[in-house]
Amino acid sequence: MKNILGFAVVFIGLVACAPANTPDTLSIKHNVSFYHAASKTGKQESNIVYELTDYDKEANSSRYYMDVSSVYCSEDVCKVDTVRLFWDELGRYTKLSLRPDVKLEKGNAEDFEQQDYQKLDDILSNGNSDLASLHKDQLVAPQSGGNAVDALTGATIAIRKTDYIKGAIWTCYTLWHFANGEVVDIIRNISGKRKTVKELRSLLVINDVHYQLFALQQLTKRTDISKDTLNVIERKLEQGDNAFFNGAINYLSILSEKDFNASVTQFLLINNSELRALILENLVNNNRPINTEFYTDIAKSLVKWREYQDVKQFLNVLEQRNIENKQINEALSGLLTHENFVIARGVYWYLKQQPADNLDSQILDDFFLQHQRRL
Amino acid sequence: MKRRSFFKFGAGALAGAGLVPSASLAAGNPKVTIADRSNDKWLHLGTGKSTIPIRHKEVSYDVAVLGGGAAGICAAVSAARLGSKVVLVQDRPVLGGNASSEMRVHLNGVNRLNTGLAERETGIIEEMLLHNRFENPQESFPVWDHVLYDFVMRENNIELMLNTQGIEAIMDGKNIKQVRCWQLTTEIEYLINAKVFIDCSGDGLVAATAGAEYRTGREGKAEFNETFAPDKPDGWQMGASLLMSAKDMERPMPYEAPSWAIKYDAEKAHKRRKFNAYHEGIWWVEVGSDDDIIGDQEINRHKLMGYLHGVWDYIKNSGKFPESENLALDWVGSLPSRRESRRFIGDYIHSERDLTGYKDFTDAVAFGGWGIDEHNPGGMDNIQLAPTTFHAHFDEVYQIPFRSLYAKSIANLLFAGRNVSQTHIALASSRIMATCALMGQAVGTAAHLCIKKNTTPRSLAKNHINDLQEQLLRDDAFIPKRPANDPLDLARKASEILASSTSSGNPKFLTNGMSRDVDGNINHWQSKNLPANMQLEWLDPVLVSKVEIKCDTNVKRNIMMRKDSKNDEFFSNSIPQEMVKSLAVDARIKGQWMQVASLQKNRTRLIKFDFKQIRTTAIRIRILETYGKPAVKLFEVRAYS
């Protein structure tokens, strides 16, 4: 009796007020399309995300839900149930619910047990699950009767036991990719549109990194290129807030050439190798036209850089983008007297590869005479 | 009927039949041969001559290793690779000891700490297991025998003698001068001369005949203050097991036990005698002894066979295992796999508190971490007892000191394996084969250093332990809490270490002396993608001819061959995807990068390049491909002139 009551408590705890498939009049419907990793067709699928209008922000309760199939089964022989998944306004999974008469099934047509539901909730909450990198072809096709297998094709994949329920890997895989897949960004964008630019900017400075990153992402989408936003971003980068780096690099992409160049030059002065690496990688891969004045300014600022790793990466950018310019080389020549001789030498060898009319060869000859023993 | 009188045959009877050499006549005397065949009346029809077969040979080496299990192989290979001339003497037709196809015990190591993860052994033992993954993807035990054979035979400095047993040490004062060996297949008596001897034979016959002090049985609590020891000392030694495997024949396969089967007493059997995966063998089919376990081996072997068939009879015919109807015995062991007999005494006796207290030894050279897994006294003879008791499991690995690995009273004798200087309780953990293998690499390396420095193991422990540890670390043996610090390693003198991209760790960690992530610390560099490169820069030119790299093979996951071919987060049945497959080394010469070495199908964690010496201020390592992962993770880079 005690176990049944305990199960009921857990089960109720997972169930929302409006069980799956119940008509909902308190929410806004959003028609959405997205790809699902377990999809048989490989095409986008359509569904409806419901936005609850009575959600409690202070309590950070669920704001969105969607009814999904419990399992994508390639042979159409699985027992498929409808599961309602919930997310908060940042697109983070919060819980799932089932109709009271529905029990999820695992291998050999066995019902989920109490602890299975709890484990499933934990699995869906883990954004870093091994399920993320698993391809559906690596899962054995479920045998008749449902989720009969938890083995993997070719026995070549090792997946942590905490990332799946024995006998129900297809269900775990299907639901995880619903909960943590493309729907997440769709939800974030819906939430973002509900906020003004001013509200998003204010989120940049609250004491919650998830909201900060959300705000940065949405401001990037809204192409908000205000000085205020830029100043906040720069401050966070100077503080070494690593979580902000990737978001900041994405933000750079919406800036005009002038603002981009100014911001990058400024950001590169921050003595953080990880940040520099991200920015320099962006310089290699972005499609912006090459502005030699911009690269000259960076080259001039290199005298303040302390790590050879960073200088070398800048030189790599020049090489990969085929940037050969006399002004840039002149600026780089300033590093031939850098206190870190490895930097000076690295620059020397770089300049030695440059076309003769793009540099002052006398400077290089002098450097060679002085340091030939150490080259 | 007493055990001793049960078995009718004995050495004396066989000697009388002229089938066993009269060792007693030659005892300790190198001038007397036991292979005198002057009585032979041999007519060689091919030549038309009567002749006497020559069955005596005297040979010389730097190092003689007795015993070709995991410990002996690692001892021989480590000494040989460092330049010593080695003979490896193995008394069976195959290498591998308990792990060979004759016995098929899994080559376990630190499979699982309390963290849930392995802390897997690296060095030569890992190389052996990886070699098997490449050469034996079908995971056949008989093929594994050949994999090990290849592993040894490809070493230039090793002479391998199979079917050969060391039977007697011939002394010169406190030194072993020679070992008398008998090669079963050729009737040849070998007198093996060597400067250093390593007994990895388990039972340690040569060490015993050398007069090395040893003991058998269980220490009482008081002697070493061991909480898991019995109150009083006694003679009990953990037993040997006999394994089997069964095959599904897809039709009913009746089974009738042989006449000498010993009926399995299910009523009396302890409830922990479980039958999980019985078709792969049952480890608790075991017989121990509280007396002369070596002298009783033939009696116990016969008994084990009786117990094995009794248990199989119970499975097939009790009605309790209906799924066994179609199963039939496919392989049955005839050679029991042994756990315990003689334990020799060194300058230090490793004991329980050294393990559970994670004692930090200045002369640490190896590690263990399997639980203190003490099998019950008598094994199946005391079926009412639980087959084993795990007294303790470990949060981290423990150290094994070098002073436990050489004989106290014999100047040039080392040990590795279950016969080292330790208590019965310590043995309950360290007897695991991969742990024994680490000891083997330690003593093989030590043997070479003893010869090079013209010194004894004791003196090596006292005066040159740093050299031993540094060589082991260089050869990818992990010593807990002992970072490498080789003054000859040029990489440590690099003024800059950089990489093309970094997703975790730092390229600068590659010279911090730690070759794995351990104790909660990151000691690696991992790239974001492939190809990737890392680079060393020196302020002044250096002369370099060697570059050595330790790449990732995921030491938190086991790679030994298993009968169930397990593949999950803890066990892998294939080549580690993390391992580097192809890479190249460049040196910057006059501002230009020139390739000095490359490797396309790497098979080891420790990747060594040897090239013509060059003068340079920078070395670059380009990693092109792994065996599956999209990025590379390295743990160490070294460079030598």
Query: DSSP string covering B564-608, please?
Result: T---SSSB-SS--TTSEEEEEEEEEETTEEEEEEEESS---SEEE
B244 beta partners? B332
Q: What is the mean pLDDT of chain A?
A: 84
**Whole-number pLDDT of residue B60:** 98
Of A155, A309, A349, the CB nearest to B573: A155
Lowest-confidence pick of A300-304, B566-570, B599-603? B566-570
**Inter-residue contact B53 to B187 (CB < 8 Å):** yes
User: If we measure between CA atoms, which residue out of A10, A191, A171, A149 comes closest to residue A104?
Assistant: A171
Cα–Cα distances (Å) from B75 to A27, B18, B67, B443, in that order, read 73, 35, 10, 6
Q: What's the token pair of residue A257?
A: 């050439």
Give residues with Cβ within 8 angstroms of A356, minimum separation 6: none
Check residues A62 and A124 and name the one with the higher pLDDT.
Answer: A124
Q: Which residues of B touch A155 (CB under 8 A)?
A: 565, 567, 573
Q: How far apart are CA A371 and CA A353, in angstroms?
A: 18
The single residue listed with the structure tokens 């279950």 is: B418
Q: Do B591 and A161 touch (CB under 8 A)?
A: no
What one-letter code names the amino acid at B253? M
pLDDT for the residue numbered A11? 39
Q: CB of B265 within 8 A of CB of B273?
A: no
Q: B505: pLDDT confidence band, cut at 50, 70 and 90?
A: very high
Chain B residue with CA closest to A150: the answer is B568
Q: What is the pLDDT of residues B85-129, one digit of tens each?
A: 999 999 999 999 999 999 999 999 999 999 889 999 999 999 999
What pLDDT does residue B40 have?
93
Contact status, residue B82 vs residue B448, Cβ threshold 8 Å = yes
Determine the Cα–Cα distance for residues B81 and B219; give it in Å rounded to an integer: 38
pLDDT attached to residue B22: 47
Could you tell me the pLDDT band of residue B27, with boundaries at 50, 70 and 90?
A: low
Mean pLDDT value across residues A214-220: 94
Q: How wide is the angle at C-alpha B344 spanned by C-alphas B342 and B347, nearest 5°?
A: 165
CA-closest candidate to residue B272, choices B257, B280, B261, B282: B282
Q: Which of A210, A193, A190 is CA-nearest to residue A49?
A: A190
Query: Are A156 and B498 in contact (CB < 8 Å)?
Result: no
pLDDT of the residue at A238? 85
- Contact B499/A at CB under 8 A: yes
Nearest Cβ partner for B567 among A156, A277, A308: A156
Question: Residue B557's closest chain A neighbor by CA?
Answer: A158
Residue whose structure tokens are 């007892």: B385
> In the structure encoding, which two tokens stand for residue A181, read together?
């897949």
Instruction: Report, in angstroms and rounded to the nearest whole number, the Rg of chain A calculated over CA atoms.
Output: 28
- Integer distance in angstroms from the first to the last C-alpha of chain B? 70
Which of the residue ranges A242-251, A259-268, B66-75 has the most confident prediction, judged by mean pLDDT? Answer: B66-75
CA-to-CA separations, B404 to B83, B121, B484, in angstroms, rounded:
25, 19, 22
- Identify the weakest region by mean pLDDT among A144-158, A232-246, B129-143, B495-509: A144-158
Position A236 scores a pLDDT of 85
Which positions in chain B touch A375 (Cβ < 8 Å)?
590-591, 617
CA distance A186 to A46: 12
H or E stretch at B375? strand B372-375
Percentage of chain B surpassing pLDDT 90?
A: 92
pLDDT value of residue B305: 97
Chain A residues with CB-CB distance to B495 below 8 A: 342
Is the per-residue pLDDT at A157 higher than 70? Answer: no
Q: Give the residue, B463 or B19, on which the prediction is more confident.
A: B463
pLDDT tens by residue, A318-349: 999 999 999 999 999 999 999 999 999 999 99
CA-based nearest residue to A67, from A52, A81, A88: A81
The answer to whether B540 faces chain A, any CB pair under 8 Å, is: yes
Distance, in angstroms, between A225 CA and closest chain B CA?
30
Q: Tell me the DSSP string of B293-325.
A: TTTTHHHHHHHHHHHHHHHHHHHHHSSS-GGGT
Q: What is the pTM of this model?
A: 0.89
Decide: B69 and B99 in contact? Cβ < 8 Å.
yes
- Confidence at A147, pLDDT banded by 50, 70, 90: very low
More confident residue, A42 or B84: B84
Check whether A227 has a pLDDT greater than 90.
no
B9 versus A239: which is more confidently predicted?
A239
Residue A53 contacts residue A27 (beta carbons within 8 Å): yes
Q: What is the ipTM of this complex?
A: 0.84
Contacts of residue B493 in chain A, CB cutoff 8 Å? none
Choose between A189 and A225: higher pLDDT: A189
- In this predicted model, what pLDDT tens digit does every residue of B44-90 receive, in sequence order? 999 999 999 999 999 999 999 999 999 999 999 999 999 999 999 99
